[in-house]
Amino acid sequence: MNKVFVIGAGGVSSVTIHKMAQLNNDFNEIVLASRTIKKCKDIQTKIKQKYGVKITIEELDADNVKNTSKLLKKHKPNLAVNLALPYQDLSIMESCLNENVHYLDTANYESKDEAKFEYKWQWDLNKNFLKKNLMALLGSGFDPGVTNVYTAYTKKHYLDKIEYLDILDCNGGDHGQPFATNFNPEINIREITAKSKYFSNGKWIYGKPLSKKISFNFPEVGKKNMYLMYHEELESLVKNFSEIKRARFWMTFGDQYLNYLKVIQDIGLSSIKPINYKGLDIIPLKFLKKILPDPGSLGKYTKGKTCIGTIISGKKNNKDKTFYTYNICDHEKCFEEVGSQAVAYTTGVPAMIGSLLILKKEWFRAGVWNVEQFDPDPFMKLLNLHGLPHQSIELKTKLKF
């Protein structure tokens, strides 16, 4: 009997729970715990109506290790799936160590007080997970997640050596709102307003946020402006593929989105420093999150497609080769299947797949791991089966920019 304990009941979690309920023979029991019980109830009702599957729900503030441990002790799951926010990673990992539960997440740890994300704190727990013979799988979403698997797959099947890695994340969808983010607004805005950073010849090169722009013609989406920025998977990929000379991450943004973002920054609404208003300490970015549309509610309005993938150049039999591996995901089709837009779908499906591989012990080693450290083939096979098929094409030359 496999029992999973999913934490967080937002956009991504809803997709993962739908996908787990579709595979009720593998995910025999599902417990959903989150801070706002109403959101758990809504998902519970939808899953019962759609699939006839009963999930158990619990109220939980996962910042509190004692309470999380208590619920893990009560339910005794095999695996905890952290789909709350990056702030909870360390406290949930600690609770898993307390109660001997395997762990999975989709985003690396970030402290609430400083917009700085890195793997160090989670990698440092490797010895603790090893000692308990437990596994932690980090970053099993799309990026990080599928893009790391694409990198491992390209190396395994097409190249002897990777030299240049570019991750291209395009959301060609339109939700018709003046300004909204694709996933949690607080985490999203912290990420895109950070300094840009890429890896080149053993060093990290820093630049102003979103200062380098390139126009790229994305398959099935068309020409879009994409911007150089830092994304967490670069850290693990250059560590795990030490031959990489250059690794960069690009994301598309429309002009209107960037204009709004500039105003938000200029008037101080993206700040994470508390301000005192009538005796209350208010964090401007948290306040902004409250008034922006909930990304989970955008599904029914969003049209268009996402195209996320890797362009990787390197050597095969001493010849230069370049491969583009990508997925196209249609917002409306996602909504039809699970009631969510494609950004939540492309993250929620890989979280289910990582969980499935751990439960089936196809991907299983004690310790703390990133997804590219496992055989990519079973993950790629499941992506094709569960709604995120890929295309791999050979390009004539490496990227010129």
Instruction: Report the residue from 4, 9, 43, 162 that binds ligand NDP according to the rule CB under 6 A.
Output: 9
Start-end of H helices in 267-327: 284-291
Asked if 70 is part of the footprint of ligand NDP (rule: CB under 6 A), the reply reads no
Using CB atoms within 10 Å of the CB of residue 255, give its burial: 0 to 12 exposed, 13 to 18 middle, 19+ buried: exposed
Listed in sequence order, the residues at least 6 apart from 360 whose beta carbon sits closer than 8 Å to its beta carbon are: 26
Among left, alpha and beta (phi > 0; psi -120 to 50; other), residue 146 is alpha
> Residue 159, interface with ligand NDP (CB under 6 A)?
no
Interface with ligand NDP (CB under 6 A), residue total 33
Residue with smaller CB distance to ligand NDP, 105 or 163: 105
**For the window 174-213, what string marks contact with ligand NDP as x by the rule CB under 6 A?**
---------xx--x--------------------------
Sign of the torsion angle spanned by Cα atoms 233, 236, 239, 240: negative
Of the ranges 20-28, 83-91, 96-104, 159-167, which one interacts with ligand NDP (CB under 6 A)? Answer: 83-91
Instruction: Give me the least distance between CB of 369 and ligand NDP, in Å please.
Output: 15
Q: Is residue 117 a contact residue for ligand NDP (CB under 6 A)?
A: no
Within 10 angstroms of residue 195's Cβ, the number of other Cβ atoms is: 12
- Least distance to ligand NDP, CB of residue 146, Å: 8
Cα-based distances in Å from 294 to 205, 276, 340: 34, 25, 12
Asked if 62 is part of the footprint of ligand NDP (rule: CB under 6 A), the reply reads yes
Q: Is position 107 an interface residue for ligand NDP (rule: CB under 6 A)?
A: yes
Question: What binding mask, one character per residue, do residues 345-374 give for ligand NDP by CB under 6 A, x or -?
Answer: --x---------------------------
Is there binding between residue 84 and ligand NDP (CB under 6 A)?
yes
Is residue 88 a contact residue for ligand NDP (CB under 6 A)?
yes
The three-class DSSP label of residue 215 is: strand
Interatomic CA distance for residues 33 and 61, integer angstroms: 9
Residue 189: φ, ψ to 5°: -70, -35
Which DSSP symbol is given to 174? Answer: B
Which residues are near ligand NDP by CB under 6 A?
A: 7-13, 34-36, 39, 60-63, 83-86, 88, 106-107, 141-145, 183-184, 187, 295-296, 347
